[in-house]
Amino acid sequence: GQQLNQSPQSMFIQEGEDVSMNCTSSSIFNTWLWYKQDPGEGPVLLIALYKAGELTSNGRLTAQFGITRKDSFLNISASIPSDVGIYFCAGKSNDYKLSFGAGTTVTVRA
Amino acid sequence: GAVVSQHPSWVICKSGTSVKIECRSLDFQATTMFWYRQFPKQSLMLMATSNEGSKATYEQGVEKDKFLINHASLTLSTLTVTSAHPEDSSFYICSASPGDITEAFFGQGTRLTVV
């Protein structure tokens, strides 16, 4: 699949700050997924979005499925040290394959 | 969420040998599973789609004779790296979904080191 445009590539934030990252695509997706990956582990699903315009929360995480179906964002509120990791967006198309963003590396300063 | 288990978590093998990696869906059946390869500090690259009861479909540039995939049951897919070489060293990850339109769940990954 194609690689999605994910930004920022990395970010250093202070504990307690909010984090925002986004993904854009040249193609339309039916599903947007956000994952977090810790070193040496597989990605863990954070939020799944199925409908254009959908806004979904999971604890301190909020994600939205863009109206055009070509973009999505993820917000993390009041960051804590365990939010450190690499966050990936992924879009699922009609062939059920996932296309991934390049990842956003989040480092939290205590 | 659904659980996908991958085994082994890591393996070291000698050049020229073959290594088998297993991917199991523990609490659901999956007619399709996906195999990815991930290099350090990079994203996941899809290698192939594993189809239960039929041949796997490989992404462009992935050697089907090098990376043998078998999906013999609705809960198990295996990836065999044949005649491994140091350049095959990588992090291999599988995924599966309880349904075609639902979210994908990943195994914990397998770190392969070929010496």
- Judge: B103–A31 Cβ closer than 8 Å, yes or no: yes
Low-confidence residues of chain B: pLDDT under 70: 1, 100-101
SS3 call for B95: strand
How close B93 gets to chain A, by Cα (Å)?
A: 7
Tens of pLDDT, residues A62-85: 999 999 999 999 999 999 999 999
Overall average pLDDT of the A8-31 stretch: 94
DSSP 8-state symbol, B87: G
Secondary structure element (H or E) that encloses residue B73, with its range: strand B67-73
To probe the interface with B, which of A92, A99, A104 has the most B CB atoms within 10 Å? A92
- Judge: B109–A30 Cβ closer than 8 Å, yes or no: no
Long-range contacts of A62-67 (CB under 8 A, 24+ apart): A63/A32, A63/A34, A65/A32
The pLDDT, as a whole number, for residue A38 is 94
What is the CB-side half-sphere exposure of residue A45 using CA atoms within 13 A? 21
